[in-house]
Structure 1
Amino acid sequence: MRRIVLIGSGNLAESLACAISKSHAELVQIFARNPRRGPEVARLAGTTWTDDPQRLATADIYLIAVSDRAVGEVAASLSIPETAIVAHTAGSVPIDAIPARFVRRAVFYPLQTFTAGRHVDFNEIPIFLETSTPDFRPELEAFARTLSCTVRYADSAQRAYIHLAGVFACNFANAMYAAGERILSKAGLPYPLIKPLIAETAAKACTATAPSTVQTGPAVRNDTATQARHEALLADDPALQTIYRTISRRIWETSKKI
């Protein structure tokens, strides 16, 4: 059984803590500076919490689940045993953000969006690993496989593309949902009206061999008359009008190549 210390108390830390608590690994401690969230995450995972670096527990693996810009600072500030694996969970941060004094540096990146209080099944989440040397890779992989059925190796360069793909597929897609909500509100209509459309769009993309094969709408048909009417409705929002025009052009250009 691997002993794990989880460093952080944000959305990802909460989901990781709950997943580890149900696995064959032992979550021995949450270390977090947030006096409200730290104890709450520890309670959800049934483990202990501390905000005192001098009381950091001894473990085999230290998972640093903090904001991207804080990874190096947090790792450097803690007295972690040199024999332990020290891994951060950030998709776009290179492995060398962890100070070189830690010989067993790693990345442990779950590709998913996380929200406090929302349950996700870690078994379905791809986890991407990178290690500073190959000698401890099997150990980290064994731990990862207690959480997920999909564990792959990806170096920092590959992971940058994975993270970028996630931004388009998740963050940007959600921003478009929000744009749809705002457009409906201009007509005095409620957001729930497009929820079935959002659900079916995501479901089709997940079951298709490629999302491009299930693309629909005026852009893929090159219906310029409808697009012109839509752009007119966006005349009071030039930024969104530009987004509409750019994405429509992208859909048409890529659909011609299918």
Structure 2
Amino acid sequence: MQRIVIVGSGNLAEALAQAVARSGLDLVQLFARNPQRGPEVARLAGTAWTADPQQLAEADVYLLCVSDRAVAEVAASLPVPTGAVVAHTAGSVPIDALKRFPLRAVFYPLQTFTRGRAVDFRQIPLFLECSTPALREPLEAFARQLSDTVLFADSAQRARLHLAGVFACNFANALYGAGAAILRDAGLGFDLLKPLIAETAAKACDAASPADVQTGPAVRGDRPTLERHARMLSGQPDLAAIYETISHYIWEISKRT
């Protein structure tokens, strides 16, 4: 598993293409239908680009870096040579989405990716699944050329990982945005929250469980502060509902620990 084709031109494709190019693997091509992003991502990784399925290069592994809903459709359109491994990178898509390929796999990096932002792939946990036991060893050897943390997880476990990631990353980031908006309404800048965000994340990573380092009015059962905050959010029903729900969750969790 040395010759690699990456399919897609989104944020993950950009990061993974560059990681493959920096490794000892051979990135032979980027296949992407987007005529703007495809050549751009290929240039960043120093490889060839095509949008024509008939020009798809021969490779040992085809990594599908496309949206969850596009995995099956894109896979069906690829004239992959016999004997090649086809792997998707989606967290919540079962391996059977690639059932037309005898050698199919999942290659799921548990990380958030943003266009133009460099990541160290060696630090990213990679979760693998494969269609046959014979594929397990070579797939793991391939993955270890990109990451120091490689684990096998079936589709059910990977769905849980994806769900946990949504809470820990997507929801947390949306709440950072809510905090920034509250400050903006007061004529203050988001930079004021950055030390708090950094320390909160550092404490959670250092603790055995994030619940062990939970702080704030909800964990203390500070009803006057909770009610004051609720009044401040009375004109923003969505944020008020989020505040109430999460505060209740924090209080309930605190009673169990």
Fold similarity call, TM over 0.5? yes
Structure 2 residue identity aligned to 1:103: P
Give 3-state SS (helix, strand or coil) of 1:182's partner: helix
Q: Distance in 1 between matches of 2:229 and 2:128?
A: 44
Q: Distance in 1 between matches of 2:199 and 2:46?
A: 37
Q: What are the residue-to-residue correspondences of 1:117-128 with 2, within 5 Å?
A: 117-128=116-127
Q: Distance in 1 between matches of 2:66 and 2:52?
A: 16
Q: What are the residue-to-residue correspondences of 1:129-208 with 2, within 5 Å?
A: 129-208=128-207
The yes-or-no answer on 1:85 pairing with 2:95 is no
Q: Distance in 1 between matches of 2:82 and 2:232?
A: 61
Partner of 2:62: 62
Query: 4+ residue runs of structure 1 moved beyond 3 angstroms?
Result: none
Q: Distance in 1 between matches of 2:27 and 2:232?
A: 54
Q: Distance in 1 between matches of 2:176 and 2:142?
A: 36
Partner of 2:210: 211
Partner of 2:41: 41
Q: Distance in 2 between matches of 1:232 and 1:36?
A: 48
The yes-or-no answer on 1:28 pairing with 2:49 is no
Shift of 1:245: 0.8
Shift of 1:82: 2.1
Shift of 1:174: 0.3
Partner of 2:244: 245
Give 3-state SS (helix, strand or coil) of 1:129's partner: strand
- Identical columns (%): 68
Give 3-state SS (helix, strand or coil) of 1:59's partner: coil
Q: Distance in 2 between matches of 1:246 and 1:67?
A: 30
Q: Distance in 2 between matches of 1:169 and 1:49?
A: 35
Q: Distance in 2 between matches of 1:60 and 1:51?
A: 19
Structure 2 residue identity aligned to 1:141: E
Q: TM-score, normalised by structure 1?
A: 0.98
Q: Deviations over 1:98-147 (max 9, x none)?
A: 1x231001100000000010011101100000001111111111110001
**Unaligned residue ranges in structure 2 (runs of 5+):** none
Partner of 1:5: 5
Q: Distance in 2 between matches of 1:214 and 1:62?
A: 43
Partner of 1:114: 113
Q: Deviations over 1:52-97 (max 9, x none)?
A: 1111000000000011111001000010012000000000001111
Q: Deviations over 1:166-213 (max 9, x none)?
A: 000000000100110111112111111111111111111111111111
Partner of 2:231: 232
Structure 2 residue identity aligned to 1:204: K
Q: Distance in 1 between matches of 2:206 and 2:216?
A: 19
Give 3-state SS (helix, strand or coil) of 2:256's partner: coil
Structure 2 residue identity aligned to 1:29: Q
Give 3-state SS (helix, strand or coil) of 1:168's partner: helix
Q: Distance in 2 between matches of 1:101 and 1:211?
A: 42
**Unaligned residue ranges in structure 1 (runs of 5+):** none
Instruction: Please give the root-mean-square deviation of Cα atoms over the aligned residues, in Å.
Output: 0.8
Structure 2 residue identity aligned to 1:92: S
Shift of 1:148: 0.5
Q: Distance in 2 between matches of 1:238 and 1:21?
A: 48
Count of residues in Structure 1 that have an aligned counterpart in Structure 2 = 257
Structure 2 residue identity aligned to 1:233: M
Give 3-state SS (helix, strand or coil) of 1:66's partner: coil
